[in-house]
Structure 1
Amino acid sequence: MLKIDNINVYYGNIHALKGVSLEINEGEIVTLIGANGAGKSTLLKTISGLLKPKDGEILFQDQSIGGKVAQTIVKQGISHVPEGRRVFANMSVEENLELGAYLRKDKKGIKEDFEKVYDLFPRLFERRKQLSGTLSGGEQQMLAMGRALMARPKVLLLDEPSMGLAPLLVKTIFRIIEEINQSESGTTILLIEQNANMALSIADRAYVIETGKIVLAGTPDELNESDQVRLAYLGGY
């Protein structure tokens, strides 16, 4: 469904992504793990059109999207939940969700998706008239995910969904990620997550990125058996 082929991305003179290649098949949860500054967020921003690759190719359903503007990529079916949630603080929960559907014209479908989001996140229904800036961190994360789902994405890009959340909420968020993937629409997910244990527990496949390069790829079981991965990301032996 999504294929990244040998892309290079720069911030000025800094070579942030160095010949990165990866593939995501329809219906999969694929996770990308790595340390801070390894290039994880840069990759998501490049896929979603916020950054342009210098070279290489990004194919979505066999169509090149590398360098296209962000709204075109959303329209084609890729939604991005950014690191830090980025909700519109002075707007209500409901208004934030409406913005997620801003490219859509199908009123009936939008209404149905409001109901689906509220089913997934009952807390958002309770808070629907509340200003999103007054929500807790966990509620803002739910809102950021709900807002992305309002675009009816085929692929959902999730950047550090557990960051700053209490352990109990982390489990809830990961359970919901699995529900989104296993739902009727079967949304394909690319997950970036520093909590490597949690990410590998729900992923079909995983990649490890270090200093802008993919250094390992495999199933969660294969990565769990790697001494390199266990030492660096899974709390040792």
Structure 2
Amino acid sequence: MLVLEDVNVFYGAIHALKGISFRVDQGEIVTLIGSNGAGKSTSLKTISGLLRPKSGKMTFNGENLAVVPPQTIVAKGISQVPEGRLVFANMTVIENLEMGAYLRKDKAEIKKDLQRVYELFPRLKERSSQLSGTLSGGEQQMLAMGRALMSKPQLLLLDEPSMGLAPILVKQIFSIIKEINESGTTILLVEQNAHMALSIANRAYVLETGKIVISGDAKELAASEEIRKAYLGG
């Protein structure tokens, strides 16, 4: 589905991604884990078209993504939930959700997808006419996820969905991520909470200073002493 081969990305003179290669197959949850500054968010921004690779190959369903503008990448079936949520604070919940479907023309299907989002996140239905900037952090995370789902993605990119949330909300968000995946959406998850990420993922890649240093089955990595010491707090 998504394949990156030897991708290099720079921020000016800074070499942020150093020849990374990984793949995400249809139906999977794949997670990128690593410490701050490892290149996790940069990887997602590159896939979304917000950053351009200097070299390397990036394909989605066999098509070259490296030269495609961000809005076309969304139309092709990739949607990102950005780090920090970035909801439109001065717009209502329903307006934010409608923005997620901006590129779509299938009105009947949009209605169905809106109901699906409300089933996943009942709180959003209760708050549909409320300004998004007045929602709690957890509600804004739900809204950012719902907005991304409104574009009907084949591949959902999640950047730090648990950041700043209370433990009980983190569990809820991860349970919903699993449900989204089980209903047919492939997920690439960037997450500092490595323990939670590995608990729901099929496969994982560990990034360190812009390079992939370890990859494998998520359950095996969660059981690895090396990974436990480095990323799971012992």
TM-score by length of 1: 0.98
The answer (yes or no) to whether the contact 2:88–2:132 under 8 Å persists in 1 is: yes
User: Larger deviation: 222-231 or 121-130?
Assistant: 222-231
Shift of 1:224: 2.1
Matches within 5 A, 1:41-190: 41-183=41-183, 186-190=184-188
* 2:212 is the alignment partner of 1:195: no
Q: Which runs of 5+ in 1 are unaligned?
A: none
The residue aligned with 1:15 is 15
The residue aligned with 2:230 is 232
Q: Which runs of 5+ in 2 are unaligned?
A: none
The answer (yes or no) to whether the contact 2:199–2:219 under 8 Å persists in 1 is: no
Rounded Cα–Cα distance in structure 1 between residues aligned with 2:125 and 2:88: 17
Task: Summarize deviations over 1:32-75 as a string: whole Å, max 9, x none.
Answer: 00000000000000000000000001110011111311000000
What SS does structure 2 have at the residue aligned with 1:68?
coil
Shift of 1:229: 1.0
Shift of 1:225: 3.2
What SS does structure 2 have at the residue aligned with 1:7?
strand
The residue aligned with 1:29 is 29
The answer (yes or no) to whether the contact 2:202–2:219 under 8 Å persists in 1 is: no
Rounded Cα–Cα distance in structure 2 between residues aligned with 1:206 and 1:234: 14
What is the count of residue pairs matched by the alignment? 234
Task: Summarize deviations over 1:122-179 as a string: whole Å, max 9, x none.
Answer: 0000000000000000000000000000000000000000000000000000000000
What SS does structure 1 have at the residue aligned with 2:230?
helix
Rounded Cα–Cα distance in structure 1 between residues aligned with 2:218 and 2:202: 7
The residue aligned with 1:211 is 209
**Identity rate, percent:** 70
Task: Summarize deviations over 1:95-124 as a string: whole Å, max 9, x none.
Answer: 000000000001000000110000000000
Shift of 1:189: 0.1
Shift of 1:226: 2.6
Shift of 1:232: 1.0
What SS does structure 2 have at the residue aligned with 1:30?
strand
Rounded Cα–Cα distance in structure 2 between residues aligned with 1:128 and 1:10: 40
The answer (yes or no) to whether the contact 2:91–2:132 under 8 Å persists in 1 is: yes
Rounded Cα–Cα distance in structure 1 between residues aligned with 2:86 and 2:122: 20
The answer (yes or no) to whether the contact 1:51–1:67 under 8 Å persists in 2 is: no
